[in-house]
Every structure is written in structure tokens, then in C-alpha cells.
Amino acid sequence: MKASKIHSKTALVTGCSSGIGEGIANCLREVGWDVFPTARSESDLQKLHSRGFDALRLDLSDSISIDNCVSGLMRKTPLGIGAIVNNAGIAIPGAVEDLTRDNLRAQFEVNVFGLQELTNKFVPIFRNQGWGRIVNISSIYGILSAPMVGGYCASKHALEALSNAQRMELRNSGIALSLVEPGPILSRFRGNAYESLRKKISKEDYFYSEYKKTLKRKLGKSQKNKLFTLRPEHVAEKVVHALTSDRPKRRYLVTYLAHAGYIMSRVLPDFAIDYFMKKSVNF
């Protein structure tokens, strides 16, 4: 898709405490962008400050925090804002029947509602400028669903739908919106998700014994041994292209498994997809 030239290489990147967000912030700074990373906790903010970033506090589950983050960024960027990179997200694993309303709500609050509320704060700014880029970090789970991560998949499916609709709505505005869909990436994300599962499971859960087996297998296991797992820099490279190209792509797939999953979703019947996705999760 065609996009207007960026006149201020300034970017807000959410969820930068570690992993993909941290990698994106570092990569953008290396190629000359003025990066404002966000985090929720004071310790993570201090870590980012110590590395020379002007970090902003942001809790996507809190509208007041979103307003404060946007107003704080506006005061710091008199020449305009070039881009927002929506990376922050959470996952609470568990079979759908074992997920509480609060479990589902928490994932949607961060991965969908808060992300979209933040993005919509910037759209009028971008429209007035006549330029701006939006990059939403989704997941191959936004295209395919897997057992035991149904809530997370649902939130990413919702993000995909909103992103596709908004991209079409922004046509001829000078604003480009791209989706980045990683597969397995070396980060704390999966470890945090499994730790969340460990804290929430109870003997009343139907899949209690399977959860215990999975936790024993997964927790503390190095992702470096995972086949096809790439580093956050591979995601960052796609983000750089989405922010700097005159014709950014609508969709960027990262990792071999993401490419394979995308093709699988287009050509295989449902029963075959079910088989491969169940095998991939090992439940």
C-alpha cells in the first residue's frame, strides 16, 4: 500500500520491558529514530531510562494511564509524531472451559481494547499532519487458533479484524497501518504465560493434570533449544520496513512457522489444521 513520507522520525513503542518491544526500540534508535518506549512497572521504566530512553509509563488496562501517556508524548514532540508501534500484550493460557470471565477480560483489555483506545488517540493527530504509521504486533495465533491458548487467540483474531477494517478506513489519509505476525520469538513472553498458568490453576480445573504435565515440561526450559525460534531483532526488521518504506506491506510474517501457518490456514481443510495445531501445543 502507498503511504505518505514521515516528516518526524518519532515513535511510541509499547511493551518495551523485554523481548520484542525492547528489540524494536533498540533497532529503531539504531537507524535514527527518536524512540519513546513504554512500560508499566517503575523498575522497567528505570531500566529503560538507564539505557538512554525517554520512557513513558503506560498501562493499557487504564484509560487514565493512556491519556497521560499521550499527553506526555505530545509535550515532548512539537514537530509531530511519526509512528506508534503497538507491541504490549499478555497471554493467560488455559482450556476455554477453565478460563474465567476475568481471564478473558484481562487479555482483551490489553491486547484489544487498550491497544485500540491508544491508537485512536493518535489517528486524529496523524490525519491533521497528513502522515503517520501504525504497526500492530499481532501473532500467527491471530490467523490460526490452538488449544489451551484460546483466549489469547481470540484477542489476536479481534486485533486482526480491527486492524484490517481501520486500514481500509484510513485509505487516502496518508496513514498506513501494518500488521506484524510473529511465530515463536526468543523472549520472556511464553515463560510469563506459563508462569501465569501456574498461578491460576486449581484442582477444580478440568485439565488440571494436563496443565501440571505441561508446566513441568515447559517452565524453566530454555527457548534457545526451540526449533525455528528467532530473535526479537527479526521482528524489529519488519517494523523498520513498515515505518520507512514508501509502500509498507499490509502484513508481515516473521519466522518459518508463521509463514507455514499462514499457508496452512489458506489451503488445508479444518480437520488437518486441527491435527497440526494440537500437535504443535502437545496437549
Backbone angles phi, psi at 114, to 5 degrees: -65, -40
What domains are defined for the chain? 10-189+226-281 (3.40.50.720)
User: Is 152 an annotated catalytic residue?
Assistant: yes
Q: Where are the alpha helices (DSSP H) in the chain?
A: 19-30, 42-50, 63-76, 101-108, 115-129, 150-169, 189-200, 208-218, 232-244, 256-267, 270-281
The catalytic position among 152, 194, 211, 252 is 152
**Cα 130 from Cα 144, distance rounded (Å):** 35
* Confidence (pTM): 0.91
Give 83's contacts (C-beta < 8 A, 6+ positions apart).
6, 10, 11, 12, 132, 133, 134, 135, 243
Give 19's contacts (C-beta < 8 A, 6+ positions apart).
185, 186, 187, 188, 189, 232
Q: What is the pLDDT of residues 23-78, one digit of tens each?
A: 999 999 999 999 999 999 999 999 999 999 999 999 999 999 999 999 999 999 99
Q: What is the pLDDT of residues 74-133, one digit of tens each?
A: 999 999 999 999 999 999 988 899 899 999 999 999 999 999 999 999 999 999 999 999
Using DSSP's 3-state secondary structure scheme, residue 79 falls into: coil
| Amino acid identity at 76 | K
